[in-house]
Structure 1
C-alpha cells in the first residue's frame, strides 16, 4: 500500500478556504501504471462512496483499472477522513490522501463541486474550477471573491 497525497495551491481573494462540497465530490485523475509507466489517456473518476469489486472477489476499491498496455490490474482508494479544506493561499497544502496499489496519480482536474468560505462565514456553493479559476461578488461585503492560479501536485507520504 502506497499512500499518495494530493497537494493543492491557489491564490484566494477575500476567501479563507475552499474545499470539495462533500464526500460525494468526484475526483478526476490521470493515472500511471507502476509496472510499465503507461499513463491513462482519459480522466479517471473516483468517488469515496462508489466501489468496484476486485476480480478475485476479495474486496473492493474506489477504482479497479486494467492497464491497457501491460494488462496489470491496479486499484486505488480515497482514504476516508483525509479530506481537508484548502486555506493556505499561495502555498501547497494536502487536501486528500489516496491508497494506491500498482498505480499512482500524475494529474488532477478540479472541475465543479467546490465550496468557498469568506472570513465572516458566508459560503459560496457550486464553485466551478474547470478553468482553474473562479470569481464572484460578495454583496454583503461589497467585494470580489475569487480563486486563481490553481495548481496541484502529488506527494508520496
Structure 2
C-alpha cells in the first residue's frame, strides 16, 4: 500500500481536493518503476478510480495494469480510498490524499495534473477549475472575504502505508 501525501501552505482556503467524480474522473499521474527489474516506465502513467482493467490469468481487476517491457512481468495498481481533502493548517502538515495498492510496481513521483477544487476558509466560496498546481502555486481573490487567497509550497510525497 502506498499513500499519496501533500504538504502545502493554504492561505484563505481549505479542503484542497481533486475534482474526482464519475462524470469527471481525475487521472492521478505518476512515474512508475518495476519492483522486479527496477526499470522505470518511459512515460508517466495515469490512474483513475473509475477505470477497471482485467488482470491476465486471473478473474481479478485493477485500476491500472502494466507489463514491464524489460522483464515482461505484469504489475497492477488499485485505488483503495476515495480522495481526502487537504485541510488548512498552521504550520502546514503532511496529510494523506489517497491510497493505492500496488503489486509489482512502485510510484517514484507524482504530477498534480488535472482539475482541483478548494473552499474559502471563512467565506465558503467555491473555487473550481484550478489546473495550475503543476506550477507549484495558485493565486486568486475571494470576493466575499475581500482578500487574496493562495496555495503555495506544495510538497507531494509517496509513502508506504
State TM-score, norm by structure 1. 0.92
Q: Look up the match of 2:29.
A: 28
Q: Look up the match of 1:44.
A: 45
1:22-69: CA deviations, max 9, x gaps?
A: 242110011111101112221100000111111224121111001121
State TM-score, norm by structure 2. 0.89
C-alpha separation between the residues in 1 aligned to 2:148 and 2:70? 48
RMSD of the TM alignment (CA)?
1.3
Q: Tell me if 1:141 matches 2:145.
A: yes
For residues 38 and 88 of structure 1, do their structure 2 counterparts lie closer, same or farther at Cα, with a shift above 3 Å needed? farther
* Alpha-carbon shift at residue 88 of structure 1 (Å): 4.3
Moved over 2 A (4+): none
For structure 2, the residue ranges without an aligned partner over 5 or more in a row are none
Describe the SS at the equivalent of 2:115: strand
Q: Look up the match of 2:5.
A: 7
Q: Look up the match of 1:152.
A: 156
Aligned length, in residue pairs:
154
Describe the SS at the equivalent of 1:130: helix
